[in-house]
Amino acid sequence: MSTSIYHSAAPAIDPTTAPYAALILRVALGVVFIAHALAKLLIFTLPGTAAFFAQHGFPGWTAYPVFALELVGGIALIAGVYARWVALALLSVLLGAITVHWGNGWSFTAPNGGWEFVGFLIAAVLVQVGLGDGALALRRSPAPGRARDSHTDQPVARAA
């Protein structure tokens, strides 16, 4: 019997630890988004953030829904309330942010901040979307393409 680097006896994802890894990622992302929302509110102020947005080609009023999405989304991620879908919604904020930082180069320490941190956050929310809600989630997101019983959160068999 030949061995191949493409086949392994061990599963690619450990089903025992993966839910806890998703929990750690979910909480870390939640903290980051709350911190960014609070910076917009308490340090830059919402009118100051609106002016910054306008300087970078976004309508100034969009600072307010971005603030709300970051704050509510961060809380939802920490609590595990539909985390997969919240992470997907927060991707829109990050795609806007990367357009602001793209021209500043890679390193976030570059003048006006590069795009490395935003790029990493994009990767992290995409991983959260792929992993799902993780352990200790209050409200689980239905897996794409799978119906789930709303009371037991178990997959529902589809009628043939």
Please give the model's pTM, rounded to 2 decimal places: 0.83
Q: Taking the alpha carbons of 54, 57, 61, 66 in that order, is the dihedral positive or negative?
A: negative
Q: Any long-range contacts for 71-75 (C-beta under 8 Å, 24+ apart)?
A: 71/33, 71/34, 71/37, 71/38, 71/41, 73/30, 73/33, 74/29, 74/30, 74/31, 74/32, 74/33, 74/34, 74/35, 74/37, 75/30, 75/34
150: confidence class by pLDDT, cuts 50, 70, 90: low
- Quickly count helices (H) and strands (E) in the chain: 5, 0
As a whole number of angstroms, the distance between CA 22 and CA 3 comes to 31
Q: Give tens-digit pLDDT for 33-91.
A: 999 999 999 999 999 999 999 999 999 999 999 999 999 999 999 999 999 999 999 99
pLDDT digits (tens, 9 = 90+) for 87-115: 999 999 999 999 999 999 999 888 888 99
Query: Exposed, middle or buried, 115 (CB in 10 Å: 0-12/13-18/19+)?
Result: buried
